[in-house]
Structure 1
Amino acid sequence: MSDIQQQIEQERDNARTVCDVSGANSKECAAAWDAVEELQAEASHQRQVKPQTTFEKYCDENPEAAECRIYED
């Protein structure tokens, strides 16, 4: 997780530099901030992913086990 946070900080610094050079209303500035937003969205998505339970891991490794069978109505 800290790796993506470092990338966000780097992109944020880059966006500030680009906006200082190109102007706040430039396409380059908007694109640089879009990159920051994309990384922030990915970081948020990674935080929302639930870790697998021990039972889910067991079923992934042993799909033929009786307790892991899925019956459809």
Structure 2
Amino acid sequence: MSNNIQDAIEQEREQVRATCDTSGKDSPECAAAWDALEELQAEASHQKSNQKTKNSLEKYCDDNPDADECRIYDD
């Protein structure tokens, strides 16, 4: 996951605190700020889940593309 989205989440979190301190915890502005933060966190989670981790065979084949185990046959 990129550091940019983590930085954005941290900045948004600070903004939420400031907005809620100014407008009040029960204000529409505070609720909207929390919604924006939750959307950013959901996007970060989505990006993280889309990162495919390679299994040991895939890693081996990356290092040894000519190995018999790594052959790909076309039908």
Question: How far apart in 1 are the matches of 2:13 and 2:53?
Answer: 33
1:28, CA displacement in angstroms?
0.2
Letter of the structure 1 residue corresponding to residue 10 of structure 2: E
1:7, CA displacement in angstroms?
0.3
- Residue of structure 2 equivalent to 1:60: none
Question: How far apart in 2 are the matches of 1:8 and 1:50?
Answer: 19
% identical aligned pairs: 54
Letter of the structure 2 residue corresponding to residue 26 of structure 1: S
Structure 2: tracts of 5 or more residues without a match: 59-72
Is 1:14 paired with 2:2?
no
- Residue of structure 1 equivalent to 2:70: none
Q: Deviations over 1:39-73 (max 9, x none)?
A: 0000000011144978xxxxxxxxxxx83x8xxxx
- Residue of structure 2 equivalent to 1:27: 28
Question: How far apart in 2 are the matches of 1:17 and 1:47?
Answer: 28
- Residue of structure 2 equivalent to 1:63: none
Question: How far apart in 2 are the matches of 1:7 and 1:31?
Answer: 16
Letter of the structure 2 residue corresponding to residue 34 of structure 1: D
Structure 1: tracts of 5 or more residues without a match: 55-65
